[in-house]
């Protein structure tokens, strides 16, 4: 009997790993079902390089820093394994949980024995700190035990629990057993037994637990977790908050009463993500209406062209409509991640390409900019202009608030799970990268140099003839796309939509997509006053910028101009920034007088001279020595 059970363990691990990042398999109001991370194998290319650095450099180096700064010792302290004081802000537990989730996602793709061993050791330390009643939080313990659930606005107790649950679910799906998941469930049950309707009121000052609770419901089938997520989203009327709190926390009042995004950007993105999850399970039309209203508010008035969100440093908050400064942009990396995961959920809920378009825009630019090419330094904020002062380093290996580094790591580790989905009609292709998909009994091989070139080939290999619809996304930026089937049948795909190709597929069928990669000059809404008379440059899904290091004969990048529309020459540079396509542009540079320009003078037309400019992908900024950078450039 024991031998029989042991034989089943590898099979069980494989089945658990065949689950997606967000499991909408049984969600009644989801249009799409994502495919498991393990079903996708990315070949050499743009993202596989980033994922390799993440697994081999980022995760080990950050764990060492978490150890160095006492974050893991905070748990050992409670279990008696170490006699040390608690260190770090009250939310440090969540930073370790996000690292654990990232490690679990890596293990869903591939079995790395060293990483699994490190993760198992951390899990043992975390679980050993749990109290008999299920409570698990290193800050509100020992000498601070009496403070539990008294600082609901800023205490982050439920926020930390949300990340614990997500780490437990991810490792369970990696075939790692239930030890961490069960610890999270015990803490969740501790909360549900004491708080909610008919019990003590509670709110989460920093939304995050809502989307974790919905995923826990999907994992366990226990309705109480979904219901508690709904309770938190709607707020408890017994808790009175000041008007400022209601906006800053983005919680405390009914989510469905929201008409615009305000306050702390990360909290708002997580709340919207959790609300989308809740909608996919309940189908509540009030949630769908509110989500649409907030999405339009974001994309039409409050989002940077990089996909970053949250323009104000004060409160890490959204500004007023069109308040999108460049140099002082806060645009926290966690906010971009929140924007990405919200759009992923909106895509699953609706099957609408606009959400995949925005997901791609955020991923390639604002999210990707958050981690250095080396994988060991990170941006907390991602501005769209820098002065390049040596004293102000934008990328650092460690922050006292270490939320962004492990958050970036878990996105990169889970990335294969975002490329494809399925529905009753067939297979959906959201993102493009060379690799292999095992979809049920059908293999789909994708070959492309995306995002550097716009040619994509999909080879379909069912075991026998098989009828289904292949939905391929035509990016909104691409214009009408050329689509060929077996080099014969030519179709035209409308930009910003999925092209549905229904046929009986046979082994060896090929679909070839050709996207127009001509660089594009983008202008902002005139109400974005800082960008008046300026343009940003994009090529494919990538946003570009200029850095002072690359401009020959240019005194200051703030003196340069773009001349003419779309006069850019792509040039491959394998030796630069890990291998990129730069854009060469014969622009202009303002000619200064012999004396320094006065601060103010009568209006004159300033003379310019020609200067060759080099633009690099925005995600690569600040990966060399300190230098000035800007995205929005004056147009002559």
- pLDDT value, residue 18: 65
For 154, other C-beta atoms within 10 Å of its C-beta total 12
Which neighbouring-strand residues pair with 537? 521
Mean pLDDT of 420-443: 98
Contacts with 412 (C-beta within 8 Å, 6 or more apart), sequence order:
47, 50, 51, 54, 58, 102, 371
Q: DSSP label at 56?
A: I
Cβ–Cβ under 8 Å, residues 298 and 369? no
CA gap 216, 166 in Å, rounded: 8
- pLDDT value, residue 29: 98
DSSP H helical ranges for 373-497: 404-414
Least confident of 108-117, 196-205, 559-568, 592-601: 592-601
**pLDDT tens track for 482-499:** 999 998 877 888 999 999
* Between residues 188 and 487, the one the model is more confident about: 188
- pLDDT value, residue 25: 96
Q: Is the pLDDT confidence value at 7 over 50?
A: no
Closest CA to 206 of 253, 157, 164: 157
**pLDDT tens track for 114-124:** 999 999 999 99
CA gap 418, 34 in Å, rounded: 7
For 635, other C-beta atoms within 10 Å of its C-beta total 16
- Find the distance separating the first CA and the last CA of the chain, reported in whole Å: 79
The sign of the dihedral angle between the CA atoms of 44, 48, 53, 56 is negative
Cβ–Cβ under 8 Å, residues 602 and 530? no
Three-state DSSP state, 121: helix
- Using pLDDT thresholds of 50, 70 and 90, give the confidence band for residue 594: low
**pLDDT tens track for 281-330:** 999 999 999 999 999 999 999 999 999 999 999 999 999 999 999 999 99
CA gap 95, 70 in Å, rounded: 12
Closest CA to 151 of 97, 212, 70, 91: 91
Q: DSSP label at 558?
A: G
CA atoms within 13 A on the CB side of 334: 22
- pLDDT value, residue 547: 96
Q: DSSP label at 169?
A: H
- Among left, alpha and beta (phi > 0; psi -120 to 50; other), residue 283 is left
Mean pLDDT of 354-363: 98
- Using pLDDT thresholds of 50, 70 and 90, give the confidence band for residue 593: low
Average pLDDT, whole number, for the chain? 94
CA gap 62, 398 in Å, rounded: 8
Least confident of 116-120, 125-129, 337-341, 492-496: 492-496
Contacts with 135 (C-beta within 8 Å, 6 or more apart), sequence order:
141, 148, 187, 190
CA gap 264, 319 in Å, rounded: 10
- Using pLDDT thresholds of 50, 70 and 90, give the confidence band for residue 565: confident
Cβ–Cβ under 8 Å, residues 614 and 586? no
The label of the residue with tokens 């239930």 reads 178
Cβ–Cβ under 8 Å, residues 631 and 543? yes
Closest CA to 272 of 244, 302, 250, 241: 250
Q: Is the pLDDT confidence value at 1 over 50?
A: no
606-629 burial: b if 16+ Cβ within 10 Å, else e: eebeebebbbbbbbbbbbeebbbb
- pLDDT value, residue 2: 43
**pLDDT tens track for 444-478:** 999 999 999 999 999 999 999 999 999 999 999 99
Q: Is the pLDDT confidence value at 13 over 60?
A: no
Cβ–Cβ under 8 Å, residues 475 and 456? no
Share of the chain above pLDDT 90, in %: 86
Q: Is 538 exposed, middle or buried (0-12, 13-18, 19+ CB in 10 A)?
A: buried
- Using pLDDT thresholds of 50, 70 and 90, give the confidence band for residue 223: very high
Tokens representing residue 14 in the block: 């494989």
Tokens representing residue 429 in the block: 């292709």
CA gap 580, 602 in Å, rounded: 43
- pLDDT value, residue 11: 44
Cβ–Cβ under 8 Å, residues 326 and 311? no
Q: Is the pLDDT confidence value at 514 over 80?
A: yes
CA gap 465, 394 in Å, rounded: 54
- Using pLDDT thresholds of 50, 70 and 90, give the confidence band for residue 390: low
The sign of the dihedral angle between the CA atoms of 533, 539, 542, 545 is negative
Closest CA to 211 of 486, 23, 7: 23
Tokens representing residue 424 in the block: 């009753």
The label of the residue with tokens 């990966």 reads 623
Share of the chain above pLDDT 70, in %: 96
| DSSP H helix total and E strand total for the chain | 17, 24
Mean pLDDT of 602-623: 90
């Amino acid at each position: 009997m024991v031998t029989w059970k042991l034989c089943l363990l590898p099979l069980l691990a494989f089945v658990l790993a065949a689950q997606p990042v967000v499991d909408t398999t049984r969600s009644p109001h989801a249009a799409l079902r994502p495919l498991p991370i393990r079903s996708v194998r990315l070949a050499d290319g743009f993202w596989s390089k980033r994922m390799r650095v993440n697994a081999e450099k980022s995760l080990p180096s950050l764990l060492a820093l978490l150890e160095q700064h006492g974050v893991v010792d905070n748990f050992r302290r409670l279990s008696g394994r170490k006699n040390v004081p608690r260190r770090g802000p009250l939310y440090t537990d969540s930073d370790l949980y996000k690292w654990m989730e990232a490690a679990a996602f890596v293990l869903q793709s591939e079995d790395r024995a060293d990483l699994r061993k490190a993760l198992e050791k951390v899990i043992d330390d975390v679980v050993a700190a749990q109290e008999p009643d299920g409570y698990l939080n290193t800050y509100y313990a020992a000498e601070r035990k009496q403070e539990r659930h008294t600082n609901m606005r800023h205490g982050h107790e439920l926020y930390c629990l949300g990340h614990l649950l997500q780490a437990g679910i991810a490792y369970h799906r990696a075939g790692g057993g239930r030890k961490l998941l069960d610890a999270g469930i015990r803490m969740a049950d501790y909360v549900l037994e004491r708080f909610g309707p008919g019990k003590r009121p509670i709110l989460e000052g920093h939304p995050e637990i809502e989307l974790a609770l919905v995923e826990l419901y999907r994992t366990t089938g226990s309705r109480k977790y979904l219901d508690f997520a709904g309770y938190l989203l709607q707020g408890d009327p017994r808790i009175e908050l000041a008007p400022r709190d209601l906006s800053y926390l983005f919680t405390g009042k009914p989510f469905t009463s929201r008409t615009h995004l305000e306050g702390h950007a990360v909290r708002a993105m997580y709340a919207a993500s959790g609300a989308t999850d809740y909608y996919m399970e309940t189908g509540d039309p009030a949630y769908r209406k509110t989500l649409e209203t907030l999405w339009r508010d974001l994309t039409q008035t409050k989002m940077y062209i990089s996909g970053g969100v949250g323009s104000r440093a004060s409160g890490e908050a959204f500004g007023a409509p069109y308040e999108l400064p460049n140099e002082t942009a806060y645009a926290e990396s966690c906010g971009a991640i929140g924007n990405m995961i919200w759009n992923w959920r909106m895509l699953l809920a609706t099957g609408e390409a606009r959400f995949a378009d925005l997901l791609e825009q955020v991923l390639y630019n604002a999210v990707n900019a958050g981690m250095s090419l080396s994988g060991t330094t990170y941006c907390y904020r991602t501005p769209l202009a820098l002065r390049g002062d040596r004293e102000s380093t934008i990328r650092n290996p460690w922050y006292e608030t270490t939320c962004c580094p492990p958050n970036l790591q878990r996105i990169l580790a889970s990335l294969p799970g975002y490329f494809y989905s399925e529905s009753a009609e067939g297979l959906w292709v959201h993102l493009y990268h060379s690799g292999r998909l095992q979809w049920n009994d059908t293999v789909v091989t994708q070959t492309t140099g995306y995002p550097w070139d716009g040619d994509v080939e999909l080879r379909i290999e069912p075991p026998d003839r098989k009828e289904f619809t292949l939905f391929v996304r035509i990016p909104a930026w691409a214009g009408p796309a050329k689509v060929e089937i077996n080099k014969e049948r030519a179709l035209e795909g409308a930009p910003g939509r999925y092209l549905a190709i229904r046929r009986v597929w046979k082994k060896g069928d090929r679909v070839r997509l050709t996207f127009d990669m001509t660089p594009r000059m983008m202008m902002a809404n005139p109400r974005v006053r800082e960008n008046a008379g300026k343009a940003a440059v994009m090529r494919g899904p990538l946003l570009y910028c200029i850095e002072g290091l690359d401009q020959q004969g240019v005194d200051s990048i703030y003196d340069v101009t773009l001349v003419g529309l779309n006069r850019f020459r792509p040039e491959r540079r394998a030796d630069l920034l890990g291998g990129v396509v730069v854009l060469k542009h014969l622009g202009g540079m303002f000619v200064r007088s012999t004396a320094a320009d006065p601060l103010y003078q009568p209006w004159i037309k300033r003379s310019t001279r020609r200067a060759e400019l080099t633009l690099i992908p925005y995600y690569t900024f600040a990966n060399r020595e300190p230098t000035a950078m800007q995205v929005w450039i004056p147009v002559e």
